[in-house]
Amino acid sequence: MSTLPEVFADERALRNLVLLYARAVDRNDPALFESLFVEDALLEGPGFRAAGLDEIRAIPGSLVQKFNGTMHCVFNQTVEIAGDTAQGETYCIAYHGIRGEDGRPMTLDWAIRYQDRFARRGPEWRIAYRRLVVEWTRTSPVELLPVR
């Protein structure tokens, strides 16, 4: 049986894992992204499926090809931990920079839920399975600020 400090440490590690996922996608960091998954992980969602680290590693780069940038804002997360495995769900808004038909900057926003299974590998938690569920989308114009 886990002690309360161990449970809190595991919950914090799982939270950090999903935050690092968002960072790896948004910063196009395939090495970080790959490090978050077990070797035989599966990542799937509407219109895509990536099985194993080779396919998973390619995801951040593929998003750079589709969008002008992304920003994932991670919200509530629930997890159930059972020894060296866990399952959970994480809510997120994913903002995707696009161009409108007239060339204006736009954002395609996805309200999403990640349904996850996690596995502990040594002292570290990793994603074993992640399913992206899109609840709704919204497209709207944005104003781009000058880069400093």
- How far from 118 is each of 15, 47, 72, 123, CA to CA, in Å? 11, 23, 20, 13
The closest of 89, 72, 81, 94 to 129, measured between CA atoms, is 89
What pLDDT is attached to residue 10? 95
Give the domains, in start order, of the chain with CATH numbers.
4-141 (3.10.450.50)
What pLDDT is attached to residue 4? 76
What pLDDT is attached to residue 1? 64
pLDDT tens digit sequence for 32-47:
999 999 999 999 999 9
Where the chain has pLDDT below 70, the residues are 1
Listed in sequence order, the residues at least 6 apart from 9 whose beta carbon sits closer than 8 Å to its beta carbon are none
